[in-house]
Structure 1
């Protein structure tokens, strides 16, 4: 496959992945000069009409999804029986790799990733498209920290696929209970899968695991998941409550939409209370599980007081699934006597003991004072708040963070709300703002060479409109919008212009023009000019006889056009034929390109038949084709040198072999 070119444009360079029905290759877009990813259907499926339709449907659906957090689909088509999709090439690491390498991630990072994935899912769900395979392997974390959701490979538009053929299982560790059971899916299925992804990112552990996919899928259906805090005791209760709500077995108990989940995550990131209507908050109780009890006779409460007692939560199993509901005392008869009243009091007391034990276990009644929340505060403000609460500021570390203003607290340890003894040191991470990096010089580099430079400093690239450039080789970068050597925020985008080489321009026709006009026309068109002269009987002196290249050709700007300019009519040197015989003179002048006219005259000094004189004289210049006039001797005159003008008696006469 390497080296193959699809649609005379996308040249395959290397394979970067393989899935159940397609391979993914890195390729070069030879038109726009950028790196792309090309997804190619495996050969065994290319001839299957059903799979081909599914592949085309995927391309059409994905192409309509426009979001900064979704991998862009640029093009798709068929080439020699092979179906392919051209996608944005993503640089970075998939979230699964990050979790495997580092374990549990920073809680803010987990929430940021979740919020961005929610935005991507909102775009898809608004078009009735369910991803169906949300997992960390399909979430790419880019060098700038933002994510891209990829591989809508088993996504389906709800209104476009036959229900009998639309049941497709995702990865067992992340599928929803309804997906494992083959039920009709809604957007809530993607929310459940995202809940598991965030669980794993926040704890480094999967909530359900097993020896095979079937056993894991069965656990998704039948078992309640552990709490994230079972694996990560330091997890923020607000973030934990979001994850727990997303992972509810009953789709109706999850977030109504991905956008609702995003808003909850954003509340957590902003330090606002996370409000989950009807959601069971870990370690606490919902409003439905809290009731007001009447005063208890003989109890500690005064006669006018009421006690708010939380009810315990117990698992209730039905339809193969376990859900948690408030436990009410079943079929309790109306209190009509002291024994029954005593029984009620005993039950209530037991409930109170259990509730208080749970609260103690959860840390609410731990000794010490709660650590104040100073996230988002300046160091000066945080110091004042911490010291006022009876604690001390510990170590302060400078960190880069693009979501927190420089000089403000990004995170703290111990976490806000944790109860600690007075004098405990609170360690703070202080934002330095977005990290600044030096912009590399991309000019005269290929896109791949430039990308390597950008990857080193954490910048991203975007191709602008290619343009002609006389000074930069075709296929290399001629300019960039961020100036080389300047500072830019890490993650910034550099827009570059790829050179198309020198622009070719039609050569103007200058034949017959004056030399000055011809040179002006050629130079205005972007050419250099070389001039030579040549005599011409047909072209006026100073005008162009011919040019090279001719006007039906195109040249790159800066090329040289040669013109030949007339120096005037041609002339040749007239041979000297005085003293020669008439026949010899005639031959000499004919060979030199001249015509000849003659007249005859007696001469005492020139032998009869020889040339007495010529006009023009020998050695002078004359255009070829012109006439040279000869005077031929008839010998001495009979009258002793005088002539009577007659030709028959040796006098003078004339004739012509040519025309003047």
Structure 2
């Protein structure tokens, strides 16, 4: 396509298309300024001229760019080129989690918990920026070559303070959406936690908990049915992990883990082998989020919506009408007659069809007429009693009142409200406003630092830290004579020290014994040899010996050689020169009239050239008043170094010498 040749923003050269989503296509590209490969998301042409979609696309870039986490895909840049918008992101090599599950099936429980913990790390950062992802699913989780993950695609994420018009479309994928998302209600962090629970369920079992022929039937199961316990699908799933997953998937958001940090702490405890204090899941179905209090215990085979005590609902746009309509019928009351009663069956069937059709129509098109809308009052920062009075005075009801830790607001003060009052926002008159009341500053959770000296290698040490809810800090290397290569020499903070969760731990990895090559001392004087050894970190001891080949004061040999540990003492032998001997009776050189006295170099009484170089042999022959004649041969066969004498013969006044080449 022509667009592939574009140089977006005068900087990003598009290469090839690597993916596509509902609003945009993704290309691999080269950043020509920084010379690096990046991923560029480009809004589809049909949406580029739509102001609402353009605003959402721009908001995605701004929101995602503010998120910094090792578990979130980095956003580098964004802009507009001509009529289209684009976002520049980190280019990842790996595979999405969905493909991994399809290839390998159910994962090991510990791996499931590790993946869940890392996703929690990403969600924690997003939620602290008041951003709800809204589309947590395996397709949006990238598994990197090192086994870690990154959360992708904030394409339908929405910040809580967004002023974009809210519609009733059910966003996200039906297999992973929370019940409140299916109903079109206000979403919070617990909605992402529900979706994460579904992801962990699929990782642990290889199957999604709810499936159907179409998105609507699956979404209805999210609301009306309980999941089959993971251990019944995969017996390898232990009870602790099962309770964690099922608590994430509670129908009532209040019964789930309330923050990503809370869930992460529990998963890290599970990874570390500590006791996991998670209650058994609720095996009931109720009118979650609708103000109803009566629930009905469900069997594992048949699960339907329970009968509420009243029809009071919490409307959110058209959602109020749907939920009220569905809850006005109690399907269980129509099945009390004997099996032969056709009337009861007919009524129950009609009721079920009406309820399903009502919800389906809402989910697809949001056709129900909203109630009277009034402006939402802002109560954040008020004392609880004043806030509740203000809510009622403005035509609303006080919904759920939950405690929450806060460093900013004093105890007893409202720190959050749902729905929010940012800008000029409205909601149905008579609907509920939930508030979160400060319980004071949150006490930081602590954990014990693991003993990294027990780790097999760096990767093992990092996994131990993750399991303890900690992070690796500075990692350095140094030599050690006592710690095996690859093992941990030291750490800071120390093992078993109590620190805040999320703290960083520095550690030092052993390179093994610290060795250095002993320098070559050939041709050095004693002083030069001592300086060379000192500079290399060695000591020196002196020895001496006579030598016919090395001048006095120079190095004859040294031991040990090769690579040695720093500080090793090297014994250096210094030459005393040739050893003096008793004067010999001079011999008369052979003359042409005298018989020849050949020599092979062994025991010659005339001259001894053993161990000499060519030059030394030539000087010795000349000093004896003889004439030298040289030839060359391969010295390796007899173990003689190059340029040294192999053998010689004396014939008259001529000494024929064979020298190694």
* TM-score, with length taken from structure 2: 0.44
The structure whose Rg is larger is 1
